[in-house]
Amino acid sequence: MQIINKDFYTAKLAKASQKVITNSSVRGQIYDAKGVPLVENQVEQVATFTRSNKMTARQMKEVAGKLLQWVTVTESDVTPRERADYYLADPEVYAEVVKKLPKEQRLDTDGNFLDESLIYNSAVASLTEEQLAYSDEELKVVELFSQMNAAAYFETVNLVTDPLTAEQIAMIAANEADLPGISTASNWKRVVVPTSLASIIGTVTTQQAGLPEEDAKEYLAKGYSFNDRVGTAYLEKQYEEVLQGQREKKEINLDRNGNVESIQTLQEGSKGKNIKLTIDLAFQDGVNAILKRHFDSELATGSARYSEGVYAVVMEPQTGAVLAMAGYSHDKKTNEVKENALGTVTNAFVPGSIVKGATLTAGWENGIIAGNQVLTDQPIQFAGSTPITSWFTAFGNRNISAVEALQYSSNTYMVQLALSILGQPYIPGMILNENDSLGASMEKLRGTFGEYGLGVPTGIDLPLESTGFIPKDYTIANYITNSFGQFDNYTPMQMAQYAATVANGGRRISPHIAEGIYANNAEGNLGELLEPIAGKELNQVNLSADEMDLIQQGFYLVVNGASGFTTGRAIGEGASVSISAKTGTAETFVTTESGQILDAVNTNIVSYAPSANPQIAVAVILPNLTDLESSTSKRITTEIINLYQSLHPMR
């Protein structure tokens, strides 16, 4: 034992006589781009309980009863198991309950006592509803006891009661001799400031809830304790390890009798670091106001009665910084409209013709067209089917270039590209063959769309973003309509990344909401920058500079072209800077309360400005309007860009 197994027993002894406990510190805060707090720590005085290694359940039960004289518990929410634990806290009561258990629930076949945990569970199961029937006042004691009983040895927990008054704090201190383990302390409560960014902040667990079950193993491996408060969603979860303060660590040494011999501080606690966002709340609120005003107007006319809402994302094309992510969701049953910034990364919509720049890219990448190639815009007539046309087909067939296909928003130019990628170039009256090449062709088309961020993760610093709705099952008809944006669904953030990628010349950069990690100043508020956060270049679109220039020309002419077929001239009307854009009008339908089916449109815009030196990229999504000629999304786009120009002049 002393020589061969010395290390084993030394470790055993140390483990038995030492215990390291940790206490979490105040969480860091989240600020907007100008330092306006978006989430704060509200400090309040609470009663605390530190459990010693020698405190019995009966003693905790007595302390809980006495403590209720000096604290207020308005609500109690105890489980049947917690009632049972309270009932069995008295050794005499527990012994009597065990004595009445059937022999097989106490002893094994050899007559030896079963494991104590098995006996205890049997004792719990044997209790009747009458035995566990407590008055409302008694249930408050059970509530306090249960919180105390959940604490590990030497662990300090904050007891959940109503906020303590100065008088209650004084009385707890005055009766400290009768309340072993009880004290008072300052505690922080996480409060999300009610702003238009509230939905992306996320939530933090309480000390009682502690680590989420699904993430507990990972957090424990990083040194967390079971009762640590952690972020459970969005920014709070994304930047958990930054916002989480440095834990205080103490080592407790016990003598051979289990008495505390010494307490040594191994690590001082400190407040967590802070996060500052790229989003200026003033601009964000301005974008929200624009969206709300126009959506309310569409509701007033009845056009938006069956719309899911309205969304907009604004990004810096060169850095990926998100400048605004605004939105409103519309409950089609109640007609209620609510702020929903989170919908920009969770909701997906049919994009319409905004994707045509990506479709042209697929044409160049697959060798279908070269340069600014001319094709004939004509009705695409397959055998036995309704012809596919462009909106201007009624004016007759015409030869158009790739740039004009964007400027005029030609469906049939895109269909011809898709057919050639499929290996079935268009011939009037042709019969489509749904062969093995369909899957490979859709993969090629979607792969190119993904180079712009459509249908793939954008890389944004928020967990659980949607990658859109990209069906695994599809037909050849779906493949063809996907070439002009009538099949796959994308999120507003994906559409904004697409616009930004065109604007910066083909670099897909991950959007980011956090601008940097910051220290705390002397007052515990936003301090100096510790670490900047930047978007990452995820890929380069597989195009030559000349080909990307053609897409940019097309986007410019959508707004600024002189032709009567120019589709987005309204965007430039009243604009304070030159805008480049691509419009998208996806044909949909809605069903009324009476079951009537109405034609509708998703009116989407992707844009950037100024055209010659893009500094912002904007995506606007306004789905399922029954006014098929609505130009509201165009006005929204112009107003957002003008607002940004007024706050941050661009040249």
DSSP 8-state symbol, 612:
S
Taking 90 as the threshold, does the pLDDT of residue 488 lie above it? Answer: yes
Please give the residue that has the higher pLDDT: either 348 or 651: 348
252 φ/ψ angles, rounded to the nearest 5 degrees:
-105, 125
Higher-pLDDT residue of 472 and 185 is 472
Distance from C-alpha of 179 to C-alpha of 502, rounded to nearest angstrom: 68
Alpha carbon distance 314, 647 (integer Å): 14
**SS3 readout for 142-155:** HHHHHHHHCCCCCC
Query: In the numeric block, which tokens belong to residue 403?
Result: 């740039």
Burial of 539 (0-12, 13-18, 19+ CB in 10 A): middle
The pLDDT value recorded for residue 360 is 98
pLDDT per residue over 412-440, tens digit each?
999 999 999 999 999 999 998 888 799 99
Residue 154 has a pLDDT of 79
Task: Give the C-alpha separation, 416 to 363, whole Å.
Answer: 10
d(CA 117, CA 119): 5
Alpha-carbon Rg for the chain in angstroms: 33
pLDDT tens sequence across 565-577: 999 999 999 999 9
The mean per-residue pLDDT over the stretch 156-171 comes to 87
Q: Provide, rounded to the nearest whole percent, the portion of the chain with pLDDT above 90.
A: 71
Separation between Cα atoms, residue 101 and residue 104, nearest integer Å: 8
233-264 pLDDT per residue, tens: 999 999 999 998 766 565 666 666 666 566 66
The sign one gets for the Cα dihedral 205, 207, 208, 211 is positive
Classify strands 398-400 and 375-377 as parallel, antiparallel or unpaired. antiparallel
Q: Are 228 and 24 in contact (CB under 8 A)?
A: yes
- Catalytic residue at 353? yes
Which pLDDT tens digit goes with each residue over 293-306? 999 999 999 999 99
CA geometry: angle at 425 spanning 419 and 431, to 5°? 85
Compute the distance between CA of residue 504 and CA of residue 316 in angstroms, rounded to an integer. 9
User: CB of 155 within 8 A of CB of 79?
Assistant: no
Cis geometry, peptide bond prior to residue 610 (ω within 30 degrees of 0): yes
Q: Where are the domains of the chain?
A: 281-647
Nearest to 320 by CA among 135, 125, 499, 74: 499
91 Cβ contact partners less than 8 Å away, ≥ 6 residues apart: 56, 58
The secondary structure of 304-315, three-state, reads: CCCCCEEEEEEE
**What are the structure tokens assigned to 199, written together?**
């939905």
Phi, psi of 230 (to 5 degrees): -135, 160
**pLDDT of amino acid 22:** 56
281-647 CATH, one of 3.40.710.10, 3.60.15.10, 2.40.30.10, 3.50.50.60 = 3.40.710.10
pLDDT of residue 18: 57
**Residues 381-406 pLDDT 10s:** 998 889 999 989 889 999 999 999 99
Q: In sequence order, what E strands does 288-360 have?
A: 309-315, 322-330, 337-339
CB atoms inside a 10 Å sphere around CB 12: 11
φ/ψ of residue 305, rounded to 5? -55, -30
Say what percent of the chain tops pLDDT 70: 93
Q: Give residue-wise pLDDT tens across range 451-462.
A: 999 999 999 999
Chain centre to alpha carbon of residue 36: 21
Please give the pLDDT value at position 216.
85
More confident residue, 490 or 384: 490
Tokens matching residue 422: 């499929």
State the average pLDDT over residues 332-352: 95
Among residues 76, 353, 580, 611, the one annotated as catalytic is 353
Per-residue pLDDT band for 5 (boundaries 50, 70, 90) equals: low
Q: How far is it, in rounded angstroms, from Cα 606 to Cα 602?
A: 13
Q: Please answer whether residues 351 and 454 qualify as being in contact, where contact means their C-beta atoms are separated by less than 8 angstroms.
A: yes
Cα–Cα distance measured from residue 391 to residue 289, given in angstroms and rounded to the nearest whole number: 33
Residue found under tokens 């258990």: 101
Tens-digit pLDDT profile for residues 170-213? 888 888 888 998 888 777 888 999 999 999 999 998 877 888 88
Residue 407 confidence (pLDDT) above 80: yes
Distances (CA, A) of 207 to 156, 272, 638: 11, 16, 47
Distance CA 380, CA 294 (A): 37
- Of 588, 332, 542, 337, nearest to 447 by C-alpha is 542
CB neighbours of 573 closer than 8 A, spacing ≥ 6?
638
Evaluate whether 551 touches 372 at the Cβ level (below 8 Å). no
Mean of per-residue pLDDT scores for the chain: 90
